[in-house]
Structure 1
Amino acid sequence: MNVTVFGATGGVGSQVVDQLRSRGHTVTAYVRNPAKVSIAWDENVTVVVGHLNDAEQIDRAVQGADAVISALGPSLDRKATGLPLIEGTRNIVEAMQRHGVRRYIGNGTPSVLDPREKPTWQTRLSTFMAKTFLRRAYDELLGMSEIVMTSELDWTIVRFLAPKDGPGAGRLRQGFYGHDRLGFNITRADIAAFTAGQIDDDRYIAAAPAISN
């Protein structure tokens, strides 16, 4: 498949691109800064340069895609202003709807509950911490998730709590808070592998599974 990846040069997004390439998919990588493009990317990766408020470039990146993965995440810089990821997500979803691209896979946080869940100490703690110390990022994540979850696309939002660098463990807990046993930490490599794997898996369509090591 041809998969368009947003946030393709980030800590998770760059590994999502590598995972997709290793699985035989072609990738269209939407990047803000071309200087961050990996020199390892080959002819199976098409790079489109643009910002998240550039609806025309986003449309160009989505056209011809079989699926879209968003590895976008909010800035944790206390000095950051605005809610650019909400506008960007809206532009992505609208481009998908125009071009008939139905499969959307994104990343999120347990601060946004899946409809089949009930709150636990983990979801309550993550929500409290985000609201108290990272309110702008929290508002962005909620806004992004709402746009996707009400879009009528075939969406999946992969949620996690504490991403870490390092090699993938390859062992994942997955499921829903209040029903399944889930931990805190997870490597970015494992997030990327699970996210990329949703391209070929319809188990979590219209769902927001949580994952941990």
Structure 2
Amino acid sequence: MILTIFGATGQTGKELVKQALLTGHTVKAFGRNVFSTQFLKNANLQLIPGALFDEKDVRNVIAGSDAVLSVIGGAFDGSDKSRSLGIKNIIAQMEALSVKRIVALGGMGVLPAEDGSLLMDAKNYPEEYIPVGKEHLKAYELLKASTLNWTFVCAPDLEDAAATGLFVTASEGRPAAGSFKINIGDLALFMLNEVSKNHFLQQRVGIGNS
């Protein structure tokens, strides 16, 4: 597949780029600082600088792609709107180009609790994660309202560790047997599998190491 990766210069993005190349995909890595980031040298890697909020930049990188992977990061205090406004632009350009498949990264707080409320609405949910959770919620709502074949991966705390294959997932909820952490390697592994296998179309997915 030809994959465009947004957020390619972050920890998860770099791992996605690496795993995608090692499994034979062609990768278009997009970001402001792609040329100053150390990536695996590979003939199937295209480094494409650009601005996430620029319609032309985003449209040009998506053009000709089979699917999009979005792991946009940013500040946790709510001041950075990259997660919501960035995905809004990505959705618009994908729809304009009729590129339908996207797997996007969000946070665990956007998952539904047993009573139908969101996990981040619980009294014991860490207060410092509320602002970024609201950004993730906006991104999820934009995807849900789109015409795309989307999957929204609602990850817990990320661990800077390699893939083990020892993780569990759940549709529209937190996996009961999963921990509150996920290795970045396993997160990337799941996202790459999902982008082609389409097990969780139009769904939020909980994930955690087992």
Look up the match of 1:146.
141
1:167 aligns with 2:165: no
1:158 aligned to which of 147, 153, 164? 153
User: Identity of counterpart residues, as a percentage?
Assistant: 25
Following superposition, the deviation at residue 155 of structure 1 comes to 0.5
Question: Which residue identity lines up with residue 208 of structure 2 in the other structure?
Answer: S
1:197 aligned partner, one-letter code: N
SS in structure 1 opposite 2:110? coil
Contact persistence 1:175–1:211 (CA under 8 A): yes
Report the counterpart of residue 91 of structure 1 in structure 2. Answer: 89
Q: Deviation at 1:84?
A: 2.7
Displacement of 1:37: 2.6
Query: Conserved in 1, the CA contact under 8 Å of 2:8 and 2:29?
Result: yes
Please give the alpha-carbon distance, in whole angstroms, between the structure 1 residues aligned to 2:86 and 2:199: 27
Deviations 1:163-201 (A, max 9, x none): 111222211111143774332111111001111111221
Q: Which residue of 1 aligns with 2:28?
A: 28
- The letter for the 2-side match of 1:53 is F
Q: Name the stretch that deviates more: 24-33 or 165-174.
A: 165-174
Q: What displacement does 1:108 show? A: 1.2
1:208: how far off? 1.3
- Counterparts in 2 of 1:119 and 1:188: CA distance versus 1, 3 Å: farther
Q: What stretches of structure 2 of length at least 5 have no aligned partner?
A: none
Q: Does 1:113 align with 2:111?
A: yes
Structure 1 unmatched runs, 5+ = none
Equivalence for 1:4: 4
Aligned residues between the structures: 208
Worse-superposed segment, 21-30 or 170-179? 170-179
Q: Return the offset for 1:139.
A: 2.2
Asked if structure 2 preserves the Cα contact closer than 8 Å seen for 1:74 and 1:140, the reply is no
1:1-213 aligned at under 5 Å gives the runs 1-76=1-76, 78=77, 81-113=79-111, 118-119=114-115, 123-124=119-120, 129=125, 132-176=127-171, 177=173, 180-213=176-209
Letter in 2 for 1:11: Q
Residue type at the aligned position of 1:150: A
Q: Deviations over 1:10-65 (max 9, x none)?
A: 11111111111112110111112134432423221111111211111001110011
What letter matches 2:4 in structure 1? T
